[in-house]
Amino acid sequence: MRALFDKTLWAAIVVGVLIIFAVPFFVEVYALYNLTVFAVLAILALSLGLVWGFGGILALGQSAFFGVGAYVYATVAINMADSTWALPASILAAVIFAACVGYFTFYGRVSDIYFAVISLTIPLILLNLVNSASGPAYQFGEVHLGGYNGIPGVPPVNNPFDPSDFLSFEGMYYLAAFALLVVYVLLRLFLASRFGRVVVAVRDNELRAELLGYDVRLYKLAVFCLGAGVAGFGGALYAAWGSSVGPNVFSLAFAAHTVVWVLFGGLGTLLGPIIGSFVVQGLSTWLGGVSRINPEIALGLFFIAAVLLLPSGVVPTLRNWLRRKRTRGQS
């Protein structure tokens, strides 16, 4: 395990902790509120970065597991008036859902392009189901799914087994920020492990990995379920942050934004999706306050320019530039 904690990982942990504690001293309350949800959405971006960038699975509908986690958290937290079991329930629900989808697709030998199409239809199906769930038959305990209106009054995260002690506004920021850091570190350790290295080998060449005796379907299913669990955890924090959850978490626009975050930050990296999420969401929030500019059009133009100027993404481009500069310095 010590070998897994290399110098770069320790440096990332130290820098991350310093940034998390320093940010509240330099930003206003509104900015801290936005940074909280940026961190939550970055967890979703990390899940797609893992599944797509390292698992080679083009899960265009990765946001569906985020939505499942959000709705499960809202249902369990309201009924139990406690988030202690709501958080693990949201992760478990997303993993079970992903296991069902992945089993029939991976073990059914569905090709990559067809899997991408299937994964994109999942949030569409869930969107239609949730939008139509407005009758009395769609009530679970005290929670009504609410159809287009969603579920209001979702309780924030409380201290374990103490429903009366909710996290403060600043506490929610620290929870989201440290959750992002912990997820990043755990995924780094996973990819450095033997299992993670096999996952990457399967991405690079499925046939070669299969000829070496590895069950390609099992490894793809495992990384797909892991990514779904991460996304479900992010969805639970999202519902707790916004005190509500609605069908928008299953929209195609939201699914497309997740893909943009990963591509902009850099596919095949873990830091890239985090940077992409923060940059794109920060730009979107700023554009939302400029009444003369359509945020969607501006973001579309920005992404086109980014693809043309940085085709491999921000992190890989910066990494290659530093490597070339270091090589020139040594010569």
Q: What are phi and psi of 161, to 5 degrees?
A: 60, 25
Spatial distance between the Cα atoms of 46 and 239, rounded to a whole number of angstroms: 18
266 CB neighbour count, 10 Å cutoff: 24
The percent of residues above 70 in pLDDT, for the chain, comes to 96
b or e along 195-219 (b: 16 or more beta carbons within 10 Å of the residue's beta carbon)?
ebebbbbbbeebeebeeeebebbeb
The ranges assigned to domains in the chain are 2-250
23-46 pLDDT tens trace:
999 989 889 999 999 999 999 999
Task: Give the mean pLDDT of the chain.
Answer: 90
pTM of the model: 0.94
287-308 pLDDT tens trace:
777 656 677 777 778 778 877 8
Nearest to 187 by CA among 54, 68, 307: 54
Q: What are phi and psi of 140, to 5 degrees?
A: -115, 100
The torsion region of residue 147 among left (phi > 0), alpha (psi -120 to 50) and beta comes to left
How far is C-alpha 256 from the geometric centre of its chain's CA atoms? Answer: 13
What is the pLDDT at residue 301? Answer: 81
187-213 pLDDT tens trace:
999 999 999 999 999 999 999 999 999
Residue 117 has pLDDT above 70, yes or no: yes
